[in-house]
Amino acid sequence: MSRKPGMFLSLSTMSFTIWAAVILLMMISQAEAYDPLDPFGNITIKWDVVSWTPDGYVALVTMNNFQMYRHIMSPGWTLSWGWAKKEVIWSMVGAQTTEQGDCSKFKGNVPHCCKKNPTVVDLLPGVPYNQQIANCCKGGVVASWGQDPSSAVSSFQVSVGLAGTTNKTVKLPTNFTLLGPGPGYTCGPAKIVPSTVYLTPDRRRKTQALMTWNVTCTYSQVLVSKNPRCCVSFSSFYNDSITPCPTCSCGCQNKKDCIMSDSNKLKNVGINTPRKDNAPLLQCTHHMCPIRVHWHVKINYREYWRVKVAVTNFNYRMNYTQWTLVAQHPNLNNVTQVFSFDYKPLVPYQSINDTAMFYGMKFYNDLLMEAGPYGNVQTEILLKKDKDIFTLKQGWAFPRKIYFNGDECQLPPPDAYPILPNSAHKNLIFSFSILEGLMFLLFLVVV
C-alpha cells in the first residue's frame, strides 16, 4: 500500500492542529486549576500550640486570607477537620463547633465537642468579652488581602484533650475542609513548619509557639458551579448599539423562579430577606446573572481616554459587602484617575502590569445594595494613552477579563463587540473564530 503525498501532507497538518489544540486545552485547564491573576493567592490556616495540658494542648488557630481580591463574605467561613485519634475539644474561645456530638462517655466535665469531624464557625460580633480573642467574632467575614490586610485574618483558640502532649506524640488533624461560605476551596494536608515567633507587646522579648503546623487552601471556580456568576456588557460612544451579556450567561435553570422588575411581588415584605443557604432570588433578565458589569468607552481625548464602569446587582436577597472588581486591560498600566472607587494595581508577574482591582469606598459605596433602584455602583476611569498601542479598532478598548468578588465573568463573544463604523476588521475577528471552530471540530473527530 502506498501513501499518496497529498494525504501525508493533510495528515501532518492535522496532527499539528491536534497538537496545537491539545496545548490550548492544557493551557485552559491549567488556568482553571489556579487563578492566573492571583497565582499565589491562598488561605493559610496556622495552628500554634501555645501550651501543653495534662491530656493534650491548647492551640491558637489563625486563618490568613492571602488572596488579593477574593474575600469571605457573610454568612462567613466554616472549617472542619478529622481528628487523627480520639481527640475531643474541651473548650473554644472566639469560635464554636456547630454540633457537640456524643459526649456520653464523659462524667463531670463535659467537652465542648466529641465529634470525630468537628465543624467550626466564627462567633457573631458582640459576644461577651470572655468568649473573644483578637481577630475573632466577625461572623466569619474575612476581607481580601488586597482590600484590607488588617481584616484579612480570623482567629480562635481551641483546647484539645485525649491528644498527644509532646511535639513527638501529637498527631496532626487531617482532612481539612473550608467553606468560604460555599464550596470552592481545596485544602492540602497539615504540614509542620518552623514555630511561630511572637513579640511581646513592649517589643522587648520574643516568645515562640511550642509547635506549629500550616494548612493551605486554594480556590477553584469550577468547584463552585459550572456556570459563571456574573456577566459583562459593552457600549461605546462611537456605536449606538449595546453589546449585551450573552443569553443565559449564568445558566437559565432558575428562569421559572425569577421576578419581573415591574411585578407586584416586589411589594411583598420579606422579598429581601436572605436565606440561610444564600439561594438567590433574581430579577428576570435574559442573562440570569446576579451581577452584571457594564463597560462603556465614554470619551476619546487627545492624550487620554475615559471609561465608565457600572456594576448592577440583580439579586433581591443579597447585599454585597466589601465587593471587589478586577479588570484586565493592556492600558490599565497607565491609570491616571479613578473616580468614586478605590483602586490598586495588581502585578502578579513582575513584568506584566495590566490588571487592576477596584473596590468601594468605605461608608460610601462599599455596600452594593440588593436588586432595585439602589442596586448599582459606578465609576469612571481616566487612562493615559500609549499612542503606540491605543486604538478603538477591533474591540481593543474593551477589557480582556473581568472578575467580580473573585469569580470570572462571562464576556460577550468577540464578533459581538461594538465596532467602529466602516471598519473592515469585523471580518478578521470572524475568520479567527472560524479557524478556532475548525480546530475544535478536528480535535473532536480525531480523538
Phi-psi region of 288 (alpha: psi -120 to 50; beta: other; left: phi over 0): left
- Give the residue among 332, 324, 302, 326 at the shortest CA–CA distance from 396: 332
Confirm or reject binding of residue 353 to ligand NAG (CB under 6 A): yes
Based on CB atoms, which residue is closest to ligand NAG, 250 or 381?
381
Please, which residues have CB within 8 angstroms of residue 171's CB and are 6 or more apart in sequence?
83, 84, 85, 163, 164
Confirm or reject binding of residue 42 to ligand NAG (CB under 6 A): yes
Residue 62, CA atoms < 13 Å, CB-side half-sphere: 17
Confirm or reject binding of residue 224 to ligand NAG (CB under 6 A): no
- Angle, CA 215 vertex, CA 213 and CA 219 arms, to 5°: 165
Confirm or reject binding of residue 66 to ligand NAG (CB under 6 A): yes
Helix, strand or coil, per DSSP, at residue 139: coil
CB of 386 to ligand NAG, least distance (A): 4
Span near ligand NAG by CB under 6 A; candidates 17-25, 252-260, 305-313, 413-421: 413-421
Based on CB atoms, which residue is closest to ligand NAG, 8 or 432?
432
CB of 104 to ligand NAG, least distance (A): 22
Based on CB atoms, which residue is closest to ligand NAG, 319 or 394?
319
Based on CB atoms, which residue is closest to ligand NAG, 153 or 248?
153
- Strand 291-300 versus strand 230-236 pairing type: parallel
Span near ligand NAG by CB under 6 A; candidates 59-67, 123-131, 225-233, 279-287: 59-67
End-to-end C-alpha distance for the chain, whole angstroms = 25
CB of 189 to ligand NAG, least distance (A): 12
DSSP collapsed to 3 states, 71-113:
CECCCCCEEEEECCCCCEEEEEECEEECCCCCCCCCCCCCCCE
Based on CB atoms, which residue is closest to ligand NAG, 135 or 214?
214
Which residue in 18, 224, 416, 429 binds ligand NAG (CB under 6 A)?
416
Q: Are the C-beta atoms of residues 95 and 156 closer than 8 Å to each other?
A: yes
Backbone φ and ψ for 288, nearest 5 degrees, come out as 55, 40
Please, which residues have CB within 8 angstroms of residue 384's CB and are 6 or more apart in sequence?
303, 304, 331, 334, 335, 336
Residues 244-273 that bind ligand NAG (CB under 6 A): 272
DSSP assignment of 348-396: SBTTB--EEEEEEPTTTTSEEPPSSTT-EEEEEEEEE--TTT--SGGGT
- Give the residue among 274, 445, 436 at the shortest CA–CA distance from 369: 274
Confirm or reject binding of residue 384 to ligand NAG (CB under 6 A): yes
Confirm or reject binding of residue 421 to ligand NAG (CB under 6 A): yes
Q: By rule CB under 6 A, what count of residues binds ligand NAG?
A: 41
* CA 293/CA 359 separation, integer angstroms: 13
Confirm or reject binding of residue 274 to ligand NAG (CB under 6 A): yes
Confirm or reject binding of residue 430 to ligand NAG (CB under 6 A): no
What track of x and - describes contact with ligand NAG for positions 153 through 172 (by CB under 6 A)? --------------x-----
* CA 308/CA 298 separation, integer angstroms: 6
Based on CB atoms, which residue is closest to ligand NAG, 64 or 379?
64
Residues 290-349 that bind ligand NAG (CB under 6 A): 317-319, 333-335, 345, 347
* CA 444/CA 202 separation, integer angstroms: 67
On the question of a cis peptide bond just before residue 181, with omega within 30 degrees of 0, the verdict is yes
Q: Cell numbers at residue 35, please?
A: 487563578
Which residue in 241, 340, 391, 433 binds ligand NAG (CB under 6 A)?
241
Based on CB atoms, which residue is closest to ligand NAG, 353 or 442?
353
Confirm or reject binding of residue 376 to ligand NAG (CB under 6 A): no
Confirm or reject binding of residue 418 to ligand NAG (CB under 6 A): yes
Q: Are the C-beta atoms of residues 339 and 310 closer than 8 Å to each other?
A: no
What track of x and - describes contact with ligand NAG for positions 92 through 131 (by CB under 6 A)? -------------------------x--------------
Span near ligand NAG by CB under 6 A; candidates 38-46, 125-133, 179-187, 401-409: 38-46
CB of 19 to ligand NAG, least distance (A): 31
- Four-point Cα dihedral 193, 68, 290, 293, nearest 10: -160
Write out the residues near ligand NAG by the rule CB under 6 A: 40, 42, 44, 46, 62, 64, 66, 80, 82, 117, 167, 175, 177, 192-193, 211, 214, 216, 239, 241, 243, 272, 274, 317-319, 333-335, 345, 347, 353, 369-370, 384, 386, 416-419, 421
